Every structure is written in structure tokens, then in C-alpha cells.
């Protein structure tokens, strides 16, 4: 292409069009970077929320096991086999 909207073979030899081309490419890359950063942050936040929920669930399960004495029942059952 030689319309200055994207890089092309020999673009750097086309004078001012190359500069415009480079600025347009930089703009597109900046938008891509911004979009990717937003996606990463969104997924990171979801990941930490899921981890927090998982940790809370594990604590609740441990508390219920202790309350219901499940570990003692399992041990006794295994010893009687």
C-alpha cells in the first residue's frame, strides 16, 4: 500500500508519508496495548475474586468437617475395615 495508512515495502523512502504512516501505526499499537491492559486487569481481578471465594469455601469446609467430626468418622471407618 502507498496511501500512508499502513507500512509497506519501501515506506521509509516515501518521505512525509512514512512519518504519517508511522504515527498511525503507533496510534493503533497504543490502542491495542490499552485494550490488552484492560483485559489483563479484568481477568486478574476475576482471578483474585475466585481465589478469595475458593479460600473462603475451603475454610468453611474445614470448619464443617471439624464440627461434624467427619475426620474422626472416616478414621474409625478405615480402622474397622
Asked whether residue 6 is domain-assigned, the answer is no
Residue bearing cell 523512502:
13
Is 31 inside a domain boundary?
A: yes
pTM, entire model: 0.46
Has residue 59 got a pLDDT over 80? yes
Evaluate whether residue 1 is within a structural domain: no
Residue 65 lies in a domain: yes
Total Cβ atoms within 10 A of residue 11: 16
Asked if the structure places residue 49 within a domain, the reply is yes
**What mean pLDDT do residues 3-28 have?**
72
Residue 3 lies in a domain: no
Averaged pLDDT, 19-43: 86
Would you say residue 34 lies in a domain?
A: yes
Give the count of domains, the chain.
Answer: 1
Query: Is residue 38 one of the residues assigned to a domain?
Result: yes
Q: Whole-angstrom Cα distance, residue 29 to residue 11? A: 18
Find the domain containing 55 and state its range: 11-79
Answer yes or no: are the C-beta atoms of 4 and 23 closer than 8 Å. Answer: no
Radius of gyration of the chain (CA): 30
pLDDT at 6 (0 to 100) = 57
Measured CA angle at 16 (ends 12, 22), to 5 deg = 60
Residue 56 has pLDDT above 70, yes or no: yes
Amino acid at each position: 500500500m502507498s496511501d500512508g495508512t499502513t507500512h509497506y515495502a519501501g515506506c521509509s523512502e516515501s518521505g512525509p508519508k512514512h512519518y504519517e504512516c508511522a504515527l498511525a501505526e503507533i496510534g493503533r499499537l497504543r490502542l491495542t496495548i490499552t485494550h490488552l491492559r484492560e483485559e489483563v486487569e479484568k481477568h486478574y481481578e476475576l482471578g483474585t475474586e475466585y481465589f478469595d471465594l475458593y479460600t473462603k469455601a475451603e475454610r468453611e469446609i474445614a470448619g464443617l468437617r471439624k464440627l461434624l467430626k467427619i475426620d474422626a468418622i472416616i478414621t474409625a471407618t478405615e480402622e474397622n475395615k
